[in-house]
A = this chain, B = another copy of it.
Amino acid sequence: MNPYRIDFDLITGFCKSGIVKPVQRRVSNMKTQFLDEKAAQKAIEDGDPILYEFNTLLNEEKHSALAFGTTIIYPGKIGDEYYMTKGHFHTVLDTAEVYYCLSGNGFMMMETPEGEVDIKELHPGEAVYVPGRWAHRSINHGKEPFVMFFVYPADSGHDYGTIETKGYRKLVIEKDGKPIVIDNPNWK
């Protein structure tokens, strides 16, 4: 395999050259994951907005290779809950990931299968190291798009099903204009 170059705008996260195309996730792609299912249903009927987009270079799916790209989480809420990504474990559970915040701000919510929970707030120029075994979800509680550059081992794989089935143990909602972390009453 030969080296290659690719552009990701340092503010918007998008690839202007078009080498990689963004993939969109809308409310309809994760409506059962929001606390307020009625608000999610209404948002879908009102135009099904894009919650987030990502631009991923997969490269060779072998462990010595790396996948990388950018993710853009838009500002907004479904009910009192901020726009967020689905969240996932890696299929190869023990593989790590690095996220580096380029613009906007938000949270990285992380949890292990055993129930440890950690949350880190990120601002531009801050990175978070997500060790192996930690599921991770990005949440935008700011007013601008929350944009990060990410890198992970190319054979990590994405296990979305565990989170879709069980939910996250914790959620971030807005109360009195501020983000607070609550237990997820729907967690199984």
| A9 / chain B contacts, CB cutoff of 8 Å | 125
Tell me which of B2, B60, B128, B131 contacts A65 (CB under 8 A): B131
* 9-residue interface stretch from A37-45, A79-87, A89-97, A162-170: A89-97
Please tell me if A6 contacts chain B, counting CB pairs below 8 Å.
yes
Closest partner residue, chain B, to A97 (CB atom): B66
| A131 / chain B contacts, CB cutoff of 8 Å | 1-3, 59-60, 65
| A116 / chain B contacts, CB cutoff of 8 Å | 2
Give the distance in Å from the alpha carbon of A170 to the alpha carbon of B108 in the complex.
Answer: 43
| A21 / chain B contacts, CB cutoff of 8 Å | none
Please tell me if A49 contacts chain B, counting CB pairs below 8 Å.
no
Q: Evaluate whether A68 and B3 lie within 8 angstroms (CB atoms) in the complex, with A63-B63, A149-B149, A153-B153 already known.
A: no
CB pairs A–B below 8 angstroms (24 shown):
A1-B131, A2-B118, A2-B131, A3-B128, A3-B129, A5-B122, A5-B129, A7-B127, A8-B100, A10-B125, A57-B129, A60-B131, A63-B153, A64-B94, A64-B132, A65-B131, A66-B96, A66-B97, A66-B151, A66-B152, A68-B98, A68-B127, A100-B149, A151-B151
Please tell me if A36 contacts chain B, counting CB pairs below 8 Å.
no
